Amino acid sequence: MGTLNELFDPDRVAVVGATAREGAVGRAVTSNLLADFDGETVPVNPNYDEVLGTPCVDAVDEAEADVAVIVVPPSIVLDAIEACGEAGVRNVVVITAGFGETGEDGADRERRLAELADEYELNLVGPNSLGIMSTPSGMNATFGPENALPGGLSFMSQSGAFVTAVLDWANDNGVGFKDVVSLGNKAVLDETDFVDHWGDDEDTDVIIGYLEGIEDGREFIETARETAAETPIVAVKSGRTSAGARAASSHTGTLAGSEKAYEAGLDQAGVIRAESVDELFDAAGILGSQPLPETDSVAIVTNAGGPGVMATDAVGDAGLELASFTGETTAALRESMPEEANVHNPVDVIGDADVDRFREALETVIADDNVGAALVLAAPTATLEFDELGEAVRETVADTDAPVAACLMGGDRTREPKRKLQAAGIPCYFDPARGIESLATLAEYRDIREREYADPMSFDVDRERAREVLATVRDREDNRLGVEAMELLDAYGIATPAGEIVDSPERASEVAAEIDGDVVMKIVSPDILHKSDIGGVAVGVADADVADTYEDLITRARNYQPDATILGVQVQEMVDLEDGVETIVGMNRDPQFGPLVMFGLGGIFVEVMEDTAFRVAPVSEPEAREMTEEIQSAPLLRGARGRDPVDLDAVIETIGRLSQLVTDFPAILELDINPLVALPDADGDANAAAVDVRLTVDPEELDLEGPDADPERPHTEEPHQ
């Protein structure tokens, strides 16, 4: 796949299937192109000499086009694509529907389409797309009713109807676009390609998206991170709820990953997530026009006490804070404002304020170094002209580096000043909460820009040994492994209590003798899931009782299930749970994002309180640390209620080692270390011990990979200790 510059900025566009027939998609596309496109539009149709007054060629190889838009019936789309490939057209937009979204035949056709695109190295949009637009050249290669206004937003949408709706609204509200893409079925080009392209596009100020799924989560994260460091990305990811995901799947045939994975993945990618159309365009609007705030502190200047309180609430809700003014600011306000005014934040210039008093107050607070952003909030009064206020705000904003939003609380009289403010890049709303939320979006994006992404944690591990442990699944009837796979953790440097799986009472005693203190003994059998329930676990066994306990456990297991496969008995060092905190480190594999790592506190915290943190693996050290900090129960790790804090670094390292393991072996579908006992810091000891493990392995994936499947992966010597 080449660059997408030509796709959005072609000299000549061919419409394969152009027609003048009323109501036909081929007419709408041709007509839209002929209307505004600066370049040449070339209708392609062997049945006509001209279409809508423009000469028509018989075949695409006569068109000398940079982009071909395909609107022929589904049965001949593949032929048309092949013709494009043969003719050297490298950019193809397939508007025709009837592919993956329509069942088996369509899915087959879509696979062949993708193969053709691959063979001819085509940048292919669609199929089942509304088309594409690019405003600098006026190119409207869609069959929609409206062309976009020029502007700095580049917009991709997995729903064509959403494009139509948004353009209809945007054109009437003066919101303009650089490029627009209806992604369709994303058989070839997907969200990652466009994020990548627009990230390098100087005319794109903000990338916005409506997505129902992401094709390759890991690739998207890496591309979006790089792009978001320069260009904000705001997206609605719909299908968030389980009902929504089912609806999305029936709509586009997208196989939905879990919402947890999208939540983690989009956050790791630096994408600002919107949950409604209003949020999407509020965010895009202010990101495209206002500078980023240096701090989270907001000043509010209002002529209305009540709305000032509402705005103050919104500051807290949005995770911002009310700025504390310096003494000079307060003194200056006291000097210039009437006595009844409130010179502290929120500044109340009171009901009889005219525009000069508003301007004075705004200029004063914006000059304060403690103020990161400002909201101007005005209710209608006899002494205030909204038009004049809008002008004063525009002038003040022109002289400042701090972002400013406005709320003009009124009806029709606010329309014109609002339009002018927005044209000057200053967002303007009725609702105080919405003004504050838009300022919060700027702060959110500032934090994204300031992120420093570290490399994934990487340790010196024994891959071959891990591979051997995983391969034992081939001897199983199902694809699950349990405590007998503890060696897998050991191979990846995750501390486990001393112990061994033994198959005789004598060996059990030998192992126990080597372990300090009493031991825990457990039956090991893939067929017995709830070991405790059948008395298959013995805790605090003294060395002298180990041999008898061995026989006892085996007998119980046999009695319980005569045909159970019994792999032996695990003899394990007792971990002192009293001093430790039980945690869980887990992983499952998401269809889009791949391995998703989970951390939480053991037992009730994960199961009942659902207090968990997720990240797409491989995770970096700062990401693993965030996981241990963002759970609500984190204070328990830090030593709440008079206990010693646990050795957090040991927990973080375990998360990193697990992340490396599940990234190295795509065959691992699910894995839980439960519990991972986190102990207080004690020099020299392994302060995070994995007491038990369960995993599910796909043996077929195991065949596909060698221990060094990814030779580019860096291997360092224990960087984090």
Q: Which is nearer to its own copies, 3 or 173 (CB)?
A: 173
Please choose, out of 85-93, 233-241, 359-367, 395-403, the segment that lies near its own copies by the rule CB under 8 A.
233-241
Q: Tell me the residue type at 272.
A: I
Pairing of strands 594-601, 612-616: antiparallel
Select from 34-42, 193-201, 606-614, 649-657 the region that touches its own copies (CB under 8 A). 606-614
Closest CB to its own copies among 498 and 634?
Answer: 634
- Taking CB under 8 A as the binding criterion, the range among 81-89, 306-314, 396-404, 479-487 that sits at the site for its own copies is 306-314
Rg (alpha carbons) of the chain, rounded to whole number: 32
As a whole number of angstroms, the distance between CA 17 and CA 96 comes to 10
Instruction: List binders of its own copies among 496-555 (CB under 8 A).
Output: none
Residue 53 DSSP class: T
What would the two tokens of residue 453 be?
Answer: 């992404």
Whether the upstream peptide bond of residue 711 has omega within 30° of 0, thus cis, is no
Q: Please report, as residue ranges, which positions from 607 to 666 form the binding site for its own copies (by CB under 8 A).
A: 607-611, 632-633, 635-636, 640-641
Closer CB to its own copies, residue 21 or residue 641?
641
**Interface segment toward its own copies; rule CB under 8 A; list 30-38, 224-232, 244-252, 654-662:** 244-252
Select the span of 53-61, 184-192, 378-386, 536-544 touching its own copies (CB under 8 A): 378-386
* Residue closer to its own copies (CB basis): 122 or 320: 320
Q: Least distance (Å) from its own copies to the CB of residue 201?
A: 24
Binding mask 3-32 for its own copies (x = CB under 8 A): --------------------x----x----
Report the distance separating Cα 417 and Cα 407, nearest Å.
Answer: 11
The CB-of-501 to its own copies minimum distance in angstroms stands at 26
In the bound state with its own copies, the residue whose beta carbon lies nearer, of 25 and 42, is 25
Q: Where in 369-464 does DSSP place strands (E)?
A: 373-378, 404-408, 428-429
Stretch in the footprint of its own copies (CB under 8 A) among 41-49, 117-125, 236-244, 438-446? 236-244
- CB of 253 vs its own copies, minimal distance in Å: 11
Q: How far is the CB of 646 from its own copies (least distance, A)?
A: 14
Q: Find out whether 132 and 125 touch, Cβ atoms under 8 Å.
A: yes
CA dist 456 and 619 (Å) reads 5
Binding positions for its own copies, 683-702, rule CB under 8 A: none
Please identify, using beta-carbon distances, which residue of 380 and 680 lies nearer to its own copies. 380
Contact with its own copies (CB under 8 A) among 3, 75, 241, 716: 241
Q: What is the rounded CA–CA span in Å between residue 709 and residue 143? A: 46
Cβ 640 to its own copies shortest distance, Å: 6
Backbone angles phi, psi at 327, to 5 degrees: -60, -40
- CB of 98: closest distance to its own copies in angstroms? 9
3-state SS, residue 562: coil
Closest residue by Cα to residue 28 from 52, 2, 56, 60:
52
How far apart, in Å, are the Cα atoms of 360 and each of 336, 350, 363, 642, 680?
8, 13, 5, 53, 57
Among 34, 82, 215, 240, which residue interacts with its own copies (rule: CB under 8 A)? 240
Give the Cα-Cα-Cα angle 707, 711, 716 (nearest 5 degrees): 90
Q: Which residue, 411 or 711, is less far from its own copies as judged by CB?
A: 411
User: Looking at beta carbons only, is 159 or 396 nearer to its own copies?
Assistant: 159
Does residue 209 contact residue 191 with C-beta atoms inside 8 Å? Answer: yes
Q: How far is the CB of 278 from its own copies (least distance, A)?
A: 5
Q: CA-CA distance, 209 to 129, in Å (whole number)?
A: 15
* 19-26: long-range pairs with CB below 8 Å, 24+: 19/45, 19/48, 19/51, 20/48, 20/51, 20/52, 24/71, 25/71, 25/95, 25/143, 26/71
CB of 533 to its own copies, least distance (A): 9
Q: How far is the CB of 605 from its own copies (least distance, A)?
A: 8
Q: Which of 158, 479, 612, 663 binds its own copies (CB under 8 A)?
A: 158
Q: Pick one of 55, 73, 145, 338: the residue that binds its own copies (CB under 8 A).
A: 145
User: Does position 344 bind its own copies by CB under 8 A?
Assistant: yes
Cβ distance to its own copies smaller for residue 102 or 472? 102
Binding mask 276-305 for its own copies (x = CB under 8 A): xxx------------------------xxx
Please identify, using beta-carbon distances, which residue of 145 and 150 lies nearer to its own copies. 145
Burial status of residue 52 (CB atoms within 10 A of its CB: 0-12, 13-18, 19 or more): middle
Q: How far apart are CA 579 and CA 613, in angstroms?
A: 23
Nearer to its own copies, 309 or 564 (CB): 309
- Quick check: 387 and 355 in contact, CB under 8 A? no
* Cβ atoms of 611 and 631 closer than 8 Å: yes
The CA–CA distances, whole Å, from 390 to 307, 395, 415, 505, 555 equal 18, 9, 11, 87, 85
Which of positions 428-457 make contact with its own copies (CB under 8 A)? 430-434
Position among 114, 139, 376, 409 found at the interface with its own copies (CB under 8 A):
409
Decide: 420 and 427 in contact? Cβ < 8 Å: no
- Minimum distance, C-beta of residue 659 to its own copies, in the bound complex (Å): 27
**Phi, psi for residue 91 in degrees, rounded to 5:** -125, 120
- Shortest distance, position 348 Cβ to its own copies, whole Å: 7
Q: Contacts with its own copies in 90-119 (CB under 8 A)?
A: 102
Instruction: Indicate the residue type of 109.
Output: R
Q: State which of positions 162-201 bind its own copies (CB under 8 A).
A: 162, 164-166, 168-173
Does 309 help bind its own copies (rule: CB under 8 A)?
A: yes
In the complex, minimum distance from the CB of residue 251 to its own copies, in angstroms, rounded to a whole number: 4
Q: Identify which of residues 126 and 160 has a Cβ nearer to its own copies in the complex.
A: 160
**Binding positions for its own copies, 564-603, rule CB under 8 A:** 603
41, 159, 525, 628: which one contacts its own copies (CB under 8 A)?
A: 159
Site for its own copies in 44-73 (CB under 8 A): none
Q: Between 355-366 and 386-398, two packed helices, what is the crossing angle to 10 degrees?
A: 20
Decide: is 210 part of the binding site for its own copies (CB under 8 A).
Answer: yes
Find the binding residues for its own copies in span 313-332 (CB under 8 A): 313-317, 321-322
**Which region, judged by CB under 8 A, interacts with its own copies, from 30-38, 108-116, 272-280, 671-679?**
272-280
Distance between CA atoms of residues 609 and 546, nearest Å = 38
Cβ–Cβ contacts within 10 Å for residue 428, how many? 24
- Number of amino acids touching its own copies (CB under 8 A): 89
Q: What DSSP string runs through 163-228?
A: HHHHHHHHHHTT--EEEEEE-TT-SS--HHHHHHHHHT-TT-SEEEEEES--S-HHHHHHHHHHHH
Residue with Cβ nearer its own copies (356 or 514): 356
Nearer to its own copies, 48 or 430 (CB): 430
**Both tokens assigned to 708:** 């060094």
Of 536, 581, 542, the closest CA to residue 558 belongs to 536
CB of residue 635 vs its own copies: minimum separation in angstroms? 5
Beta bridge partners of 584: 600
Helix/strand/coil for 706: coil
